[in-house]
Amino acid sequence: MRHFYVKSTKGMTSGEFNINDTAGSAGRLDIIARCVNAAFWISHSLRTDVVFHTILFGPPNSPIYIKIVGKKLRKVQPDERNISIFLKKAIERFEEDRVVETTPGIFASRKTFEDVIEEYKDCDFYLLGEDGSDISDCDVSENAFFILGDKEDLVDEEVAILEKHGAKKVSLGKISYLTSHCIGFLNVYLDRKN
């Protein structure tokens, strides 16, 4: 299984945003929608061996954890607007005290970053950053859990949680790429390796 976690530093935690302007009115949920596209879609099909995770840290009700499971995902189309509609449903259908499957394959719940990392502690964590070890020098495991920032990198407290769980810092080079492009690259890189 491949896991991708993208932090949504300002992603809105209420559904009261304009679906036609997720960049302006939803705390850059457009970035998350593009990352979902890069995580799952191949031509005419979906990757069933991918799980995508994000935590929305924007107002007014953070944190909301959204998990998307490739092998259960139904009805979602690859375009950014359609993915955003499903993210909006996940936020609107979130409930405080239980995990809700808001649409097939998409789950919303209240979890902190530490909760998520603890839940997946059996995975091998890779923190993506320009200053890590070059990916070609890393033997990426079958059960990889990649962690990426959005417009902003993770903060020191989150990095410390990852260090406690033995995360390796991995770089794709010195250039700072868009998060969705990093995910696309990682998928192709791993496809070619296996």
Binding site for ligand SAM (CB under 6 A): 128-130, 148-149, 151, 153, 171-173, 175-179, 182
Task: Answer whether the bond into residue 78 is a cis peptide, omega within 30°.
Answer: no
Which of 17, 23, 154, 179 lies closest to 91, judged by CA?
17
Smallest distance from ligand SAM to CB 28, Å:
11
Q: Tell me whether residue 100 or residue 185 sits nearer to ligand SAM (CB atom).
A: 185
38 vs 76, beta carbon nearer ligand SAM: 38
Strands 50-56 and 64-69: antiparallel
Nearer to ligand SAM by C-beta: 37 or 179? Answer: 179
What is the DSSP secondary-structure string of 65-79?
Answer: EEEEEGGG--S--SS
Query: Rounded to whole angstroms, how far apart are CA atoms 108 and 96?
Result: 9
Residues 6+ apart with CB under 8 A from 43: none
Nearer to ligand SAM, 102 or 179 (CB): 179
Minimum gap (Å) between residue 5 Cβ and ligand SAM: 10
Least distance from ligand SAM to the Cβ atom of residue 92, Å: 27
Least distance between ligand SAM and beta carbon 89 (Å): 26
